[in-house]
Chains A and B, each alone.
Chain A
Amino acid sequence: MNLAWREIRHNSGRFVFTGVGLGLLLGVVLSMIGIYRGMVVDALTIARTPDVDLWVVEANSRGPFAESSRIPGDTREAVARMPGVTAAGSVTYQSVEATAGGRKMRLYVIGYEPGRPGGPAEIIVGRGLGRSHFEIVADRSSKLVPGDVVTFGRDRYTVVGLTAYHVSSGGDPAAFVTLRDAQQFQAELDPAAVRLQAARGAGSGSIDTVSAVIARLAPAASVEAVAAGIARWKHLSAIAQADQEAILTGSHIDRARRQIGLFTGLLLAVSAVVIALIIYTMTMEKLKQIATLKLIGAPDRTITAMIVQQALALGLIGFFMGWALIVAIKDIFPRRIVLDTDNVTQLGIVIVAVCLLASGLGVRAALKVDPATALGG
């Protein structure tokens, strides 16, 4: 018979209660891991959405996400003409304060040219932007639905479609509008920039600036060669997609990432101590029964197996409860929780290791106990 299982069954109420407690704790650990991963994935989603190879930005800037970047709107045509470039599009990025149905919200407005790179990867509800003015495709995390009217600047935009998981690195829902609309309200919100542009001689009152030009290359084209070609133009530099992603995760959200990472580490350490304590106490309470087992002749193997199996059972129950909990509630978090199978598996392995270590302590105590302890009468 399996003594570990029999003992668990006998004290099932208590065991389940402990398992649920542990599950809550491990749920918190998992959610921290999920928040951490979600943050990285969110930051990358915005940069990966256009599915391009090269970002052309203002010279010496690391834009358009980590730093602001402003380049002339006609850059796109020049980039598109370069050998190896198969598609190019102008994009703008700007955070705005918007109002919808009396509700204020921050939106991360992305302006792009429909038909060129820069638009949302997938529309989950409604349709994409037509060529008309004042339409908007918003991320569903904004809680907007098609037909809603959103006001920013002086204009009213109608929601025509929704995307999923498009947010800024700060967590603001993305909102796609046409490039022309974006440039229009940018000018309204920031007339100084327009005056500056005029002073540079780009034509009086010109609003034709964009944050970046993104380019897709032919499979055979060399990213380095195209980038070097672009860098020869005075006011521009080019960032390869991989470098753009590195900027986003390595520097832009780096501090927040490290903060959460450290906290997750601490939480893991606390959980390890709690698991160890639970298992150790569980064993200490059974010392007299273990002494009895020794007295009737149970070998160390039997006693060790009992303790280790119980420790693993507890750890795994806690782990799966925590996992189930997070999967059940992850959508009510304001920001995305991403649980890769990899991360979950790693945590599972850590839990198993902690349980084994902790049961090692219990086993040591159990093997040391004098069988005479069982007599005590």
Chain B
Amino acid sequence: MAQERTPLVSVRGVSKHYGEGAARVDALKGVSIDIFPREVVALLGPSGSGKTTLLNVIGCIIDPSGGALDLDGERVFDNGKWLRDDLRRLRLEKIGFIFQAHNLLPFLDATDNVAVALELAGHSQSAARRRAVELLDYLEIGHRRDAMPAKLSGGEAQRVAIARALANSPRIILADEPTAALDSKRAQIVMELLRKLAAEQDASIIAVTHDEKIFGYFDRVCHLRDGVIEEETRVAPAGQSV
């Protein structure tokens, strides 16, 4: 049934190499993958297999060397160049990032780190703060909402970063090891939240993970090795809660 719809993310034969000549590293060698709305997909693979690179290509952060990329039914990369010049606007509206490192702005407290993404999208200051507090409460980090990032534990900072990624209800959520810094209870909360978001917002979630405890939350697991997708495992029927 998912296949009948347009994929939210469509990667077509994307390759990416870093450097030239002897220093050349082929991080992606012709990767193709379609991810549909409401799908929660895991990227798995050994270190250096190209997971982060693939995620960043989908997030329009790094330029692919070849291939094509469609987001939400729109071709955004083809023939070696981006077809939109406002990639940041695209990211602001459609893509939420959960980084491997939390990347919170050190000079803003937890609430404002979330609110800044909302204000950038055009929300008023008070509305942004209100929604930010809601999100933080939702991620059970509301009690730390006035803390500066330097005063947060790794897990707390990660949850604030997740709140920021979810702030503008993006339809594509990219997460690089989102639960690495969390205990298993919190990891499950985050995954449940992501699943719920996928279902309610018609969103796609793509997460790099090594965390076996959360495999059960994914619809599909894609195994990468040396820059190609080696195999795909369908864990649970798409759109169905575990």
Interface set of A (CB-CB < 8 Å, partner B): 1, 3, 6-7, 9-11, 289, 292-299, 302, 371-372, 374-377
Contacts and interface: CB of A to CB of B under 8 A. Distances in A.
Contacts of B97: 295-296
A10 B149 CA distance: 11
Contacts of B100: 375, 377
Contacts, number: 74
Interface of chain A, helix or strand or loop or mixed?
Answer: helix
A299 B89 contact: yes
Contacts of B106: 10, 289
Contacts of B125: 1
A3 B61 contact: no
Interface in B106-149: 106-108, 112, 115-117, 119-121, 125, 148
A374 B105 CA distance: 11
B101 interface: yes
Interface residues of B, number: 29
Contacts of B188: none
B101 A11 contact: no
Contacts of B61: 295, 371-372, 375
Given A295-B91, A296-B120, A9 B107 contact: yes
28 contacts: A1-B116, A1-B119, A1-B125, A3-B107, A3-B116, A10-B106, A10-B148, A11-B107, A289-B106, A289-B107, A293-B105, A295-B61, A296-B97, A296-B116, A296-B164, A297-B88, A297-B89, A297-B91, A302-B120, A371-B88, A372-B61, A372-B62, A375-B52, A375-B99, A375-B176, A376-B101, A377-B99, A377-B176
A349 to B, nearest CB: 30
Nearest to A295: B97
Given A296-B164, A375-B56, A375-B103, 6 more contacts: A289-B107, A296-B91, A371-B61, A371-B88, A377-B100, A377-B176
A372 B56 CA distance: 8
Contact of B117 (A294, A296, A371, A372): A296
A353 B116 CA distance: 30
